Chains A and B, each alone.
Chain A
Amino acid sequence: MIRMALKLTLVLGVLTLATAAALVRPAAGQDLTDVNAIVERANLAAYYAGDDGSARVRMTITDAQGRSRTRDFAILRRDVADGGDQDYAVLFSRPADLRNTVFLVKKHVDADDDRWLYLPGLDLVNRIAAGDKRTSFVGSHFVYEDVSGRGLEEDTHELVETTATHYVVRNTPRDEGADFAYWTVWIDKSTFLPTRMDYVDGTDEVFRRIEAVEVDVVDGYPTVTTMRVSDLRSGGETVSEFSDVRYDLGIPEDVFTERTLRNPPRRWLSGR
């Protein structure tokens, strides 16, 4: 009995190891079929590259009339655990009325995120309700959830197609109050980066699309360096360009505290 249990544990262990190995390096030409493994890998590739990271971001927001606005900021990220909690700090430099505004997020996988906003003109540290994660991020066509990731458990996942280059996964929200019926993601088979996401409404019409326009390999990590989100109903779009991307900087935990709001840690910021 004991031997059998031991054997079973060993088998399970080997299986787990095999899965882990597959996660790291899938055999060439061998497609994954487990949709949960695919979306977990995509989540890691898109949001958890390295243990931490830093980048400069320029967002160009264009409305349907062609008028454009610009948001410039530096972003810092630190993973508490791969696939788990994360800390983000965003320091704005443009437009002028947002300059030195700092946005701090403690992302929790099992609870509401903690979010703070520092307004330098008033020297005010404001707490922001986690509330609706699908609210526009600083007036762009991106929503907060696009910036820090949507919880995997919020959708059911279904592998609808495996093409020569992509896994196509349909994600249906468990919460019926979502503003989309489902979203379809195209995941690159070699990098596991999502390269296209289509948000579909109740009439089966795609009303919002996010695309990876440019992907570069930075410090060994495939990285989306230009990303576009299009509002297919109104015609507006936002393009995010990432520059001076750096990974594995060893950013300490205490950078993501109230101290950073008043006193941004410039040594960790890209492009200064």
Chain B
Amino acid sequence: MSARGAMRGLALVASWAAFATPLQAQFSDVELHGFVDFGAAARVVSDPLQPDDLLLSEVRFQLDLAHYGERAEFAFKGDFTSDGVSDGVEVDIRQAMVSLRASDWLDVRAGRQVLTWGTGDLVFLNDLFPKDFVSFFVGRDDEYLKAPATALRLTFYSALANLDVVATPVFEPDRSITGERLSFFDPGTGGLVRAGSVPLAQPTRPPREVGNGELALRAFRTVSGWELALYAYAGFTKQPLAVDESGAPTYSRLASYGASARGALAGGIAHAEAALYDGSDDVGDAPTVPNSQLRGVVGYTRELVRNFNVGLQYYAEHTLDHERLLAASPAPEWEPSEIRHVVTSRLTYRMLQQTLTASLFAFASPNDGDAHLRPALSYDWSDGFAVTAGANVMLGDAHTFFGQLSDATNVYLRGRYSF
């Protein structure tokens, strides 16, 4: 039996388990839930580099099991996906963890889990937990922007402040754009590439050694309604931005320090966050290693009129030692701007007793001239069934962050039955 056959078998067993009510009765203290999700996304224009005009054509089955004990909880979430674009079946364990209220001052979460912190809306500074950028651009649900990691999370509570410690023993990078489905800009050739079109090596991951894991810290407390936090991270850049001796993309060492604040202001919510990405290229003149960066975001969100919410953010990414970077770069014209400015807006309008939601999230960079628009319309047919139609529109020159994906501009349709 091939690996794919085995996976299909596993998926079948899982589906059977989900609907076998006698089994459910036997483990009556195990809560069983999940969903079946159908998704399709098609390019608006063909990408000359990609054979397929479909970006998404999948049936996803999520099995969600939970057991709530006296002190501990066990949670499992597994996605079994029949993927019509890669023509395979994929299994993604999004959660397999034990969660313990160990004492009055300590919570423990151990295992595979999705982790999020920070204050930005779809803009992440101090949140260096893994993301899935392919899912984000091909029309999957927003929750798939966050990828799971196998980690140990300890949360200590005290009157002074609370402390989160997240240790990820084996480095978990982002699920980044590899040229499959989505073409991307390659500074080496100065053009768009897809997987296999140039001798692009698979990114080299750091060897699995003690010391090559990730450690993320957050100290937080709320002072008169304002949530204040300090962050630190030691690990690697989450995207393969460096180049190793053999010329393959790889992950260089990264340390990050930051702070954030969030609170109520004039009937809305204001937030601000900053992070210093301290890369391993101390002076910024090593072309194969990304430079250090200073990142910041400020934002404000509020209900403008009833059922209509507006959120605005300004985000900046300042690449340090930019002159030295340009001087040392083999392709200075493709290096990032010294400061990349981005504004985002989120508009949400709910209608028909909140069953119909129209939304638009937009990113736009006035100085790099690229943008990403995410309009969507979703309708809750019933408690169990929801449909969403939307689009991902990417604009800009081929070498810009969003512009490189302009041939992946797509419209999508999803339906989900939850139980």
Q: Give the B-binding residues of A (Cβ under 8 A).
A: 61, 63, 67, 69-70, 94-97, 99, 106, 111-112, 114, 119, 121-125, 127-132, 134-136, 138-141, 179, 236, 254, 257-259, 262-263, 266, 272
Flag B383-399 by CB within 8 Å of A: 1 or 0 each. 11010000000000000
Residues of chain B contacted by A61 (CB below 8 angstroms): 353
Residues of chain B contacted by A129 (CB below 8 angstroms): 264, 267-269, 301-303, 309
Minimum C-beta distance from A68 to chain B (A):
9
Give the distance in Å from the alpha carbon of A176 to the alpha carbon of B354 in the complex.
Answer: 25
Q: Give the A-binding residues of B (Cβ under 8 A).
A: 33-35, 68, 99, 101, 107, 113-117, 142-143, 145-146, 155, 157, 162, 220, 222, 225, 227, 262-264, 267-269, 271, 301-303, 305-307, 309, 350, 353-355, 380, 382-384, 386, 416, 418-419
Give the distance in Å from the alpha carbon of A123 to the alpha carbon of B166 in the complex.
Answer: 14
Main SS of the interface on chain B?
strand
B355 touches A139 (CB 8 A): yes
Give the distance in Å from the alpha carbon of A132 to the alpha carbon of B101 in the complex.
Answer: 36
Residues of chain A contacted by B107 (CB below 8 angstroms): 259, 262-263
Closest 3 CB pairs of A and B: A131-B303, A96-B418, A95-B383
B303 touches A132 (CB 8 A): yes
Closest to A236 in B: B353
Residues of chain B contacted by A272 (CB below 8 angstroms): 68
**Contacts A129-B264, A259-B107, A263-B107 supplied; 16 other A-B pairs, CB < 8 Å:** A69-B382, A95-B418, A96-B34, A106-B225, A112-B267, A114-B225, A122-B142, A122-B146, A127-B269, A129-B303, A131-B268, A136-B350, A136-B354, A139-B380, A259-B157, A266-B68
Give the distance in Å from the alpha carbon of A258 to the alpha carbon of B222 in the complex.
Answer: 9
Minimum C-beta distance from B127 to chain A (A):
10
Give the distance in Å from the alpha carbon of A178 to the alpha carbon of B303 in the complex.
Answer: 15
B383 touches A69 (CB 8 A): yes
B114 touches A123 (CB 8 A): yes
B383 touches A136 (CB 8 A): no
Residues of chain A contacted by B162 (CB below 8 angstroms): 258-259
Minimum C-beta distance from B384 to chain A (A):
7
B35's partner among A96, A125, A258 (CB-CB below 8 A) is A96
A96 touches B307 (CB 8 A): no
User: What are 20 A-B contacts with C-beta separation under 8 Å?
Assistant: A114-B225, A121-B114, A122-B116, A122-B143, A124-B116, A134-B306, A135-B303, A135-B306, A136-B307, A136-B350, A136-B353, A139-B353, A139-B354, A236-B353, A258-B162, A259-B155, A259-B162, A263-B107, A266-B68, A272-B68
A96's partner among B115, B146, B271, B419 (CB-CB below 8 A) is B419
Residues of chain A contacted by B302 (CB below 8 angstroms): 129, 131
A99 touches B113 (CB 8 A): no
Give the distance in Å from the alpha carbon of A131 to the alpha carbon of B305 in the complex.
Answer: 9
Quick one: given A63-B353, A135-B306, are A127 and B155 in contact (CB under 8 Å)?
no
Give the distance in Å from the alpha carbon of A124 to the alpha carbon of B146 in the complex.
Answer: 10
B264 touches A123 (CB 8 A): no
Give the distance in Å from the alpha carbon of A263 to the alpha carbon of B68 in the complex.
Answer: 11
A138's partner among B222, B306, B354 (CB-CB below 8 A) is B354
Residues of chain A contacted by B101 (CB below 8 angstroms): 263
Give the distance in Å from the alpha carbon of A257 to the alpha carbon of B116 in the complex.
Answer: 17
Residues of chain B contacted by A124 (CB below 8 angstroms): 116
Minimum C-beta distance from B40 to chain A (A):
20
Residues of chain B contacted by A258 (CB below 8 angstroms): 162, 220, 222, 227
Residues of chain A contacted by B267 (CB below 8 angstroms): 112, 129-131
Residues of chain B contacted by A262 (CB below 8 angstroms): 107, 155
Give the distance in Å from the alpha carbon of A138 to the alpha carbon of B33 in the complex.
Answer: 21
B269's partner among A97, A128, A134 (CB-CB below 8 A) is A128
A67 touches B382 (CB 8 A): yes
Give the distance in Å from the alpha carbon of A111 to the alpha carbon of B269 in the complex.
Answer: 14
A127 touches B262 (CB 8 A): yes
Minimum C-beta distance from A148 to chain B (A):
16
Minimum C-beta distance from A61 to chain B (A):
7
Closest to B113 in A: A123
Give the distance in Å from the alpha carbon of A257 to the alpha carbon of B107 in the complex.
Answer: 14
Quick one: given A96-B33, A99-B33, A134-B306, are A123 and B383 in contact (CB under 8 Å)?
no
